[in-house]
Chain A
Amino acid sequence: MSSSRRSTIIVEHLRKQQMWEAISKGKRLDGRNLDEIRPIEAEVNVIRKANGSSKVNLGNSEVVAGVKVETGRPFEGLENKGALILSAEILPTASPYIEPGPPDEETIELARVVDRGIRESEMIDLDKLVLVPGEIVYTIFVDCSIINADGNLFDATSYAVVSALISSKIPIFKVQDGKVIDSGDVQEPPLTTIPISITAARVGDTVILDPTAEEEACMDARITITTNSNSDFTAVQKGSTGAFTLEQLKKTAEAARIKGIEVRSKIKELTNIGK
């Protein structure tokens, strides 16, 4: 059952005071501006056994994502579309507060919000991943492992998924005598757009972008907004126990569009798109 108990890190009261003071002056404890995103590093094809992979660092948050392509039955109601299945796991390596075990609600929310950003933007044209309509389709698994958690896992994971998908090569399967055969060749994935999520946190009356774990422990509310390559909105998720005013939401949505463009070109550059 969903409960209001928190499993995040504990921040000392003095440190909290410092943070609030700094934020009210327009600065943050790590020296960033309120709307500044931590440096993004992305490396692709780090896992040879996967069909596509990436390691992304967003500040100290680190995520490895791997793409595996198989064939299988389509989802019910989506008979003429390939299947996309996304999972995320916060490994026990990620922080002293994470314990091994089945995913808790925070991890489930993380995977579902990242999935929503990728799926709703129609980043992958799933119509093109059908072998036998209604019977056999491509199934794309994207599995994410959070190696180190320092806040804003939503964006770090989302960037890792996007980078892994951009870098992926999809095996060409063929159907012969009712059996699926791997032809040995690969194809580029049918990408249509690059969704970028931007997460903001409200601390008091101030909205900051890309919160660290420490800032997340002190935030009142969180929001993740995903935009596609046309800068249209494709997914939103408000999180945490606080609220936003309408004005804060509209301002943050605008910031997500502008920062989204910046991050998108950065990820394109890092993944060497059009290589």
Chain B
Amino acid sequence: MTQTRNLIDEQGIRTDGRRADELREIKITVGVVKNADGSAFIEFGRNKIVTAVYGPREVHPKHMALPDRCVLRCRYHMTPFSTDTRKNPAPSRREVEISKVMRESLEPALILEDYPRAAIDVFVEVLQADGGSRCAGITAASLALADAGINMRDIVAACAAGKVDDKIVLDINDTEDKEGGADMPVAYMPHLEQVTLLQLDGILTQGQFNECIDMAINGCKKVYEIQRQTLMHKYFGSETELKEE
């Protein structure tokens, strides 16, 4: 994590033209995989990720079933062509870990007690990776779950913040991740006000730590607005806001 060049210019503009607290462009489409019970495709900057949800359905193998709630299973996988150098298609240790934290970040939002003895499978396939793919994956997966009609307490929105040139910035991209100082992915449930994913690598002082987590949560709230608009558009056919009850 040694810095080789400036990633933020004098005007505070980053390598991809964004300001410090600006998200990359996010575009989400739901219902893209016809066979799935729920699905979503997200373009998060240059990330392209397709997610599909199957379930609630019968559990195989049967002994995995839980008597009082649903089993949530999650697979995060990168396609061999998604990265600069070809990625071996076999699941790496990194993918195993991300599958786990992703599942744990989605589970608090789901009412799994409603589907005892069943399973819900979430598949996240990264077609093109550009830094922050786990956050984009969580954001899309939670919409795919909503699209599948699973009972949920809240939507999970995810976004990273990090340190670049000793400044805290929102939603770091691939270059900033590789050359910058720190990366903190956060997933957040905006209505329940709870953090369901928090990771950090890189060095942050106490002040930077607090600034970083606050900024990431604000980013999650912006991501949530986009998720909400996407669902509205899909199910009510227009961008018009429905009145909150």
Contact = CB atoms under 8 A, between A and B. Distances in A.
**A2, A105, A235, A241: most-surrounded residue (chain B CB, <10 A):** A2
A4 B103 contact: yes
Nearest to B198: A238
Interface stretch (A56-64, A133-141, A225-233, A262-270): A225-233
What does DSSP make chain B's interface, helix, strand, loop or mixed?
Answer: mixed
Q: How large is the interface on A (under 10, 10 to 19, 20 to 34, 35 or more residues)?
A: 35 or more
Contacts of B100: 2, 105-106, 108-109, 239
A26 interface: no
B4 to A, nearest CB: 12
A112 B204 contact: no
Interface in A223-275: 223, 228, 230-246, 249-250, 253-254, 257
A109 B203 CA distance: 20
B32 interface: no
Interface SS of A by simple majority: mixed
A238 B204 CA distance: 17
A250 B197 CA distance: 14
Contacts of A119: 201
Interface residues of B, number: 46
Interface string B210-234: 1001100100000000000000000
B200 A235 contact: yes
Contacts of A14: none
Contact of B74 (A1, A109, A249): A1
Interface of A: 1-5, 76, 105-106, 108-109, 111-112, 116, 119-122, 223, 228, 230-246, 249-250, 253-254, 257
29 contacts: A3-B72, A3-B74, A4-B73, A105-B96, A105-B97, A109-B97, A111-B93, A120-B1, A122-B1, A122-B203, A232-B205, A233-B203, A235-B201, A237-B198, A238-B101, A238-B195, A238-B196, A239-B104, A241-B104, A242-B196, A243-B192, A243-B194, A244-B194, A244-B198, A246-B193, A249-B198, A250-B210, A254-B206, A257-B206
